[in-house]
Amino acid sequence: MSEIQYFTPEGLEALKKELSDLKHIERPKIVQAIAEARDKGDLSENAEYDAAKEAQGHLEDKIALMEHTLANARVIDASQLNTNKASILCKVKVKNHNTGKEAVYQLVSEKEANLKENKISVKSAVGAGLLGKAKGEVCEIQVPAGTIKLEIIDITI
């Protein structure tokens, strides 16, 4: 059974655009590179041909994976979210008890995670640790650097 992945409308559009670019821009480039390498003669000793065929295989794998992800994608309607507990798409304001600093993280799918934008995956250690927790709760989360204590200050959309 395939795993459903949840996306924001923007995240799903970005995934569709990336897939379209791979199919309509990158795929023709690789086909052209294979044709050019084939024209150079003996394929048994043609490193350019081998490299182009390998690149084609990687691209086709990536396209297949993205198509599978899109087939199992669901868009989240922000108006239907409940902010009583942290869930995917929510913005969670936390206070780190180890450092005293506050931060706001948006919980998103793995495909939309971007730490520069404070978007963390619900499958990451911190994201999973916050998921399902309510305002005021203190979560002890195991991360590679040790254990961190995060207090949930606020949950918004």
Task: Report CA Rg, the chain.
Answer: 22
50 and 84 share one domain? no
Dump pLDDT digits (tens) for 132-152.
899 999 999 998 888 899 999
Last residue of a domain, one of 44, 75, 106: 75
148 and 85 share one domain? yes
**pLDDT range class, residue 102, cuts 50, 70, 90:** very high
Residue 144, burial from CB neighbour count under 10 angstroms (0-12, 13-18, 19+): exposed
Number of domains comprising the chain: 2
60 and 87 share one domain? no
69 and 105 share one domain? no
φ/ψ of residue 131, rounded to 5? -55, 125
Asked if pLDDT for residue 25 goes beyond 90, the answer is yes
Domain range for residue 96? Answer: 80-156
58 and 113 share one domain? no
Amino acid at 29: K
| Contact residues for 25 (Cβ-Cβ < 8 A; gap 6+) | none
**pLDDT range class, residue 1, cuts 50, 70, 90:** very low
